[in-house]
Structure 1
Amino acid sequence: MTEIAVRKIVVTVEEVRHDGGPVLATPILKGSVACIVKNPFAGRHEPEIAGMMDALKPLGLECSTKLLQALGGDPARIEAYGKGSLVGAAGELEHGALWHVPGGYAMRELLGQALAIVPSMTKVGAMGASLDVPIHHKDAAYVRSHFDGVTVAVADAPRADEILFALAMTTGGRPHARVGGLRQDEITKRDGLR
């Protein structure tokens, strides 16, 4: 089994009070957690990497828990989520894909009902690069008001031989959503789509 060596975890929370329109009665919280880990495959092509997904599962749960606590601790308040990976320059795009199961399933497990697939972004980048983590509604991917994103960046990460694994959650959609589409209160199907 691949050992997971964590260098640091960074949690960030934004409190959005308005976005140019009227002040919201309840601010929307948008949070992210970034976990910086050593990439055991940096600098070489390793044909078999899938075993690292199992090794990352406890970290996925730890990061999800830290993020939920930073957003107030109540799973019922979380409306949207996303995940992503930023691989250091000595790694491959596929190394970031190792986060799909450990990051996504951890959030879904922690939140209880979370029917929609967790949107994701993976890229290779230099130290200090930003990662735009896509966000959508946790129960119905077509809820247009919750199409959003959270930008994650850590000044000294990822180093060439590291991976930045990120999770994001929000307590609402865009502050003044008004472009139509399926609304949160119109979710009827339980297929994760509508």
Structure 2
Amino acid sequence: MPLKRGAALVVIRNPFAGRYVEDIQPFMKDLEPLGLEMARRLVTALGGDPKAIQGYGKGAIVGAAGELEHGALWHAPGGYAMREILGGAKAIVPSTKKVGGPGTRLDVPVTHIDASYVRSHFDAMEVGIPDAPKADEMLLALVMTTGARIHNRAGGLKASEIKGEDGLR
């Protein structure tokens, strides 16, 4: 069975670019529908079966007029969306973020969807868009995979040994 890896990327205007705003948390709720749509489209692109997805991750690149904290707003809506679309995946969705200009690349970390300690699924996928993000934009990313690294042999907990109790093992 071939390993499939995919990413959904979107560029949005950063509503906080160029200024300091104390209370930015309500924007997370605004991002939830976007996260759900991105997750749905990504599952479709990877074959349409949520049960085939074994790994996931998320990330954000904030344009130069924004701040790193604006990218952190993607943590909850991006992770929530993938766990919901995948039927309640247990593991925390790994994440990364940075501030950068057009063409910035981001290595999005990937772990198993039900147990963060499954080493065979520790991976990353590089994402980016050549002309984004501009200074007043944010690039948001979701990544999914259908399996472990090819020829993984680093040991540790195997996917077949997941207990599914706590998102770790």
Q: How does the TM-score come out when normalised to structure 2?
A: 0.98
Match of 2:84 in 1: 109
Structure 1 counterpart of 2:21, from 42, 46, 69: 46
Structure 2, unmatched stretches of 5+, are none
Match of 2:105 in 1: 130
What CA deviation, in whole Å up to 9, does each residue of 1:4-31 have, x standing for no partner? xxxxxxxxxxxxxxxxxxxxxx110000
What CA deviation, in whole Å up to 9, does each residue of 1:31-75 have, x standing for no partner? 001110000110111111111111111000010011010001101
Counting only pairs closer than 5 Å after superposition, residues 50-65 of structure 1 correspond to structure 2 as 50-65=25-40
Structure 2 counterpart of 1:149, from 124, 130, 146: 124
Q: Aligned partner of 1:152: which letter? A: V
Structure 1 189/65 Cα, relative in aligned 2: closer, same or farther at 3 Å?
A: closer
Match of 1:80 in 2: 55
Counting only pairs closer than 5 Å after superposition, residues 1-194 of structure 1 correspond to structure 2 as 26-194=1-169
Larger radius of gyration between Structure 1 and Structure 2: 1
- Deviation of residue 189 (structure 1)? 4.2
Distance across 2 between alignment mates of 1:185 and 1:81: 18
Distance across 1 between alignment mates of 2:141 and 2:11: 9
Q: How does the TM-score come out when normalised to structure 1?
A: 0.86
Distance across 2 between alignment mates of 1:137 and 1:129: 26
Contact kept? 2:111, 2:121, Cα under 8 Å: yes
Task: State how many pairs are aligned.
Answer: 169
Distance across 2 between alignment mates of 1:122 and 1:190: 28
Distance across 1 between alignment mates of 2:155 and 2:109: 19
Q: Aligned partner of 1:88: which letter? A: G
Q: Which has the higher contact order (CA 8 A, sep 6+)?
A: 2
Distance across 2 between alignment mates of 1:193 and 1:88: 33
Q: Aligned partner of 1:136: which letter? A: T
Give the superposed CA RMSD. 0.7
Contact kept? 2:56, 2:111, Cα under 8 Å: yes
SS at match of 2:114: coil
- Deviation of residue 190 (structure 1)? 1.6
- Deviation of residue 113 (structure 1)? 3.4
Contact kept? 2:90, 2:164, Cα under 8 Å: no
